[in-house]
Chain A
Amino acid sequence: MVDVPQQSAPAVPPPAETADVHPPDAATWWGRWVFSQDAKYIALQYAGTAVGIGLVALVLSWLMRLQLGFPGTFDFITPEAYYQFVTMHGMIMVVYLLTALFLGGFGNYLIPLMVGARDMVFPFVNMLSYWVYLLAVLVLAASFFAPGGPTGAGWTLYPPQAILGGTPGGQQAGILLMLVSLILFIIGFTMGGLNYVVTVLQARTRGMTLMRMPLTVWGIFTATVMALLAFPALFVASVMMLFDRLLGTSFFMPALVEMGEQLSYGGGSPILFQHLFWFFGHPEVYIVALPAFGIVSDLISVHARKNIFGYRMMVWAIVVIGALSFVVWAHHMYVSGMNPYFGFFFATTTLIIAVPTAIKVYNWLLTLWRGDIHLTLPMLFALAFIVTFVNGGLTGLFLGNVVVDVPLSDTMFVVAHFHMVMGVAPVLVIYGAIYHWYPKITGRLMNEAMGQFHFWVTFVGAYAIFFPMHYVGLVGVPRRYFELGEVAFVTTPVDGLNAFITVAALVVGFAQMVFLFNFLWSLRHGRPAGGNPWRAASLEWQTPETPPGHGNWGHDLPVVYRWAYDYSVPGAPQDFIAQNDPWPGRPAERRA
C-alpha cells in the first residue's frame, strides 16, 4: 500500500497541455453516467456490454457441451438449435466479447491514463462508438427472438449454405440480423479505433516518447491499427452477402439446385468469400492476442519486480507480428482446393510468425528469471497465459503445415487448438488484467480467496476441457457434428471423454459465477487499495485521485522522465521509480 507523493524536481519543464484534448464537462447525471464522453466511463460501458453478451455465449457453450457429452438426453437441443448455439457462441466470443473488451474496454480505460492524456482526442466520436457497438449487440441479440431464430451457419458464415433454406436462419431473419450487426460493429469500431490510434500518436504527455510507452499501449495500439485495416474485409464480405441474400446478386452464390428447384443464382464464388473472411479472420487472432501480449508483459514486470527483458525487441516483435499477420490468411483454407504453391507460401509465412512470437515468450521467461516473483492473482493469470499460449501455439505449428493440416482439418483437434490459443489464453489475460486494474478503477482490491478459487478452477478446468479434446480430434471426431452415432471412421470410443469434458466445462462455468460475485462483492467490501497497491511504475498508477477524476490528472499533466519498467533499481529510494519521478539515477548503475 504505497501512495505516491507528487514529487517536484528542479528545472521541471512545463507540463504539456494541449488544446486538442479538453474533455467536455458533463453537467447532468445522464451526461455523466449514460451519454458519457469520458473515456473511463465509455470503457466501463464497453466492458459491461461485452461481458453481458459474453455470458450469453458462455451459456450457449454449456448447451453445446450438454449435447456433445450426453447426446439424446436433452430434447430441446435439436440439430438446428445446436448449429445456432455454435454459431452465436463463436461470433460473440471472437468479435463482440474479445475484440470489444480488449480495445473498447481496456483500450479506452488505459490508453489516456498510460500515455498521460486527459482523455481521448475525440470524446464525442468515442461516445458514438459505444452506442453504435451497443446497437450492434442489440441487433445480434434480437436474432434470438426473430422467427426461425439466429443463424446457424457457423461463425465463418460460409456461403452458399449461410443464406440457403437448409441452414437455420438462412432464409429467415437470422443471417440478415447477423450481417447487419457485423456491419454496425465495424462502423462503431472504426470510430473508436480512430480515437485510440490518434490519441497514442498525438496526445502523449511531455517526455512520453513511443519507446517509453508501456507494452500494454503498444499492444493495443498495434492491434487497433490492424483492426482498422482488417475489419473492412469483413465489411466487404458482409455487404456483398447481404446483396446476394436480399437483392439476388451472385457475388458468392454458384448455380444451385435446392429441393429439386433451380435457384436464380449462378456463377458466384464461395472461395471469394473465404478469402475476404480470412483476410479479416487471421489478423483478428492477433487483434486479440497483441493486447494480451502487451498486458501480460506489464503484469509480469510489475509482479516480478523486474524490468521487462528486451523491451525494444518486445516492441519490434509486436509490430512485426502485426505486419506478418496480413500475409497468412489462406492457412485457414488449405482444404479449399487452392493451388498447392499457395499452400506452401502460406505455410512458410505462418511458420515465420512463430519467430517473433517465440521471442516474446523467451523475453517473458527471462523477465521472470531471478525476479522477485509475487504470486498475486494477476501474476498467476499471467503465468497461466504463458503456459496456455505456448501449448496452443505448438498445435498451431502442426496445423500450419499443409500435410498435417489436411487430415486434421475440421476435426475437434482444430477446435481444441484455437480455443487454447485464442479462447482460453486471452481470457486468462483479461482476468489477470481485471484483478490488476480493479483497484485503480474502484479503489478496492478484489477478494483474494475467491480469486484463488476462481484461478485454480479456471486454469486446471480449462486443461481438463481442452487437452482431452485434442485427443478426441486426433482419433478423428469431426467438429460441427450434432451427434456422432456409429461411424466407421472413428474406431476409438470417445463417449466417456466427451462426458468428462462436459462436466469440466460446467464446473469451469460455475467458477466464472464466483468471479462475477467477487467483482460485485468487492465493490463494497473489498480491502481499500490506496492509489498504487502493486507499487507499479507506469503512469496510470500515479494519478492524483483513485479512481481517476474527470480529466485524469488534476491541474497539471504529468511529465515523464523514464520508461515504465524501473523496478528494483540499485540505489533508488524505493523498489520502483514512477515514470513521472525525476530521480536521476546513473545509467551505469541502472545497467545492473
Chain B
Amino acid sequence: MSVVLVFILVVIGFSLWWLLRQRIADRPWLEVGPDPLGGPGDTGVATPRVALGVFLAVVGALFALFASAYFMRMEFVDWRPMPIPRIVWLNTGLLVLASVLLHCAVIAARRGDRPTARLGLAAGAVATLGFLAGQLAAWRELEASGFLLSGNPSNSFFYLLTGLHGLHVLGGLAALAGVAPLAGAAFAESDAARLRQRLELCASYWHFLLLVWLGLLVLFTGWAAELVDICRQILS
C-alpha cells in the first residue's frame, strides 16, 4: 500500500500547505466586520479549474491504489512478467504528441489565433484516437500470442489498467468534442475566453493522463520493480 500512502501524503501535504495560507490561526470570535477574504474566486483560480484539480486527485488516488495492488500481487510466486508489445511504444509516442498538440492549441487560443487552435485541437484528437486504436491493436496482439486476461495476474492487470486508462481517455475525448463547436466556423468573439478556458482544462487533463500512462508503463516494463529492489538493497 506504499504507493497510495505516498499519494495520500502528497495530497494531505498539499491540503495542509493550502490551509495554512487560509489564515486558519484567525480568532473569529474577536474579529467582526466584512472581510475581504472569502467570497467567490478568493482562491484566485477559476471554479472549473478547481473542480478539475479535485477530480484529478480522485483519479490519481484510483490509479495509485491500482499500482499498490499491482505491487502487492507481484510478490506472489505465480507472477510471470508479460512482454510489452512493440506497438505500445508507438502508442506512447502518439499520446505524448496529443498532449503537445493540445498544448499548442492552448497557446494559439491564448494568442487569439483561432485557426491554429482549431488545427491543434483536431490533430490532438486524431493522435488520441490513434493512441486508443493502438492500444486495441496491442490487446489483439497479446491475445494472439496467448497472453489471455485470466492467464496470469500480470496479464490481468495489463488489460484492466490499460482498459481503465482508455476509458478515461475516451471521457476526455467526449469533453474535447464539447469544445470543438467553440473553435468552429460560427465563432463569436465573446466565445474566445470560453474557448481558451476549456482548452486549457482539456490540455491539463491530457497531461495528467499522459503522466498516469507513463506511470503505468513503468509498472508494466518492470522498471518500477527494479527500482524498488534497488531501494531495498540500499536500505538493508
Contacts and interface: CB of A to CB of B under 8 A. Distances in A.
B34 interface: yes
A311 B40 contact: no
A121 B47 contact: yes
A197 B79 CA distance: 41
B5 A327 contact: yes
Interface in B1-35: 1, 4-5, 8, 11-12, 15-16, 19, 22-35
Contacts of B41: 18, 20, 202
A210 to B, nearest CB: 5
A454 interface: no
Interface in B196-217: none
B38 A208 contact: yes
A196 to B, nearest CB: 10
A93 interface: no
A587 B32 CA distance: 8
A205 B39 CA distance: 4
Interface in B110-133: none
B39 A198 contact: no
A410 B171 CA distance: 43
A242 B105 CA distance: 40
Nearest to B78: A267
B29 A206 contact: no
Given A275-B72, A276-B65, A204 B22 contact: no
A249 B29 contact: no
Contact of B28 (A16, A203, A212, A276): A212
A13 B153 CA distance: 62
Interface residues of B, number: 55
Given A201-B50, A208-B38, A587-B30, A229 B11 contact: yes
Nearest to A563: B28
A240 B69 contact: yes
Interface stretch (B51-59, B94-102, B183-191, B226-234): B51-59
A585 B32 contact: yes
Interface in A162-201: 190, 194, 197-198, 201
A211 interface: yes
Nearest to A588: B30
Given A194-B51, A235-B62, A204 B42 contact: yes
Given A207-B34, A209-B38, A561-B32, A229 B58 contact: yes
B34 A228 contact: no
Interface in A256-277: 264, 266-269, 272, 275-276
A507 B28 CA distance: 45
Contact of B54 (A12, A16, A197, A272): A197
Contact of B65 (A228, A279, A562, A565): A279
A268 B1 CA distance: 16
Contacts, number: 186
Contacts of B78: 250, 266-267
A523 interface: no
Contacts of B76: 267-269
A202 B50 contact: yes
Contacts of B39: 16, 204-208
Contacts of A206: 34-35, 38-39
Interface in A215-241: 225, 228-229, 232-233, 235-236, 239-240
A211 B73 contact: no
Interface string A96-140: 000000000000000000000000011000000000000000000
A326 B22 CA distance: 23
Given A251-B153, A269-B73, A590-B29, A209 B35 contact: yes
Nearest to B66: A236
A247 B160 CA distance: 11
A560 interface: yes
Contacts of B51: 121-122, 194, 198
A207 B8 CA distance: 31
A18 B40 contact: yes
Nearest to A264: B150
B175 to A, nearest CB: 13
A323 B160 contact: no
14 contacts: A18-B41, A201-B43, A206-B39, A207-B34, A207-B35, A210-B38, A212-B28, A228-B57, A236-B69, A267-B78, A269-B72, A307-B29, A323-B16, A560-B34
A-B pairs, 3 with minimum CB distance = A267-B78, A18-B40, A563-B28
Interface of A: 12-13, 16-18, 20-21, 121-122, 190, 194, 197-198, 201-212, 225, 228-229, 232-233, 235-236, 239-240, 243, 247-251, 264, 266-269, 272, 275-276, 279, 307, 311-312, 315-316, 319, 323, 326-327, 559-563, 565-566, 582, 584-585, 587, 590-591
Given A13-B34, A250-B153, A585-B32, 6 more contacts: A17-B40, A207-B39, A210-B24, A232-B65, A250-B150, A279-B65
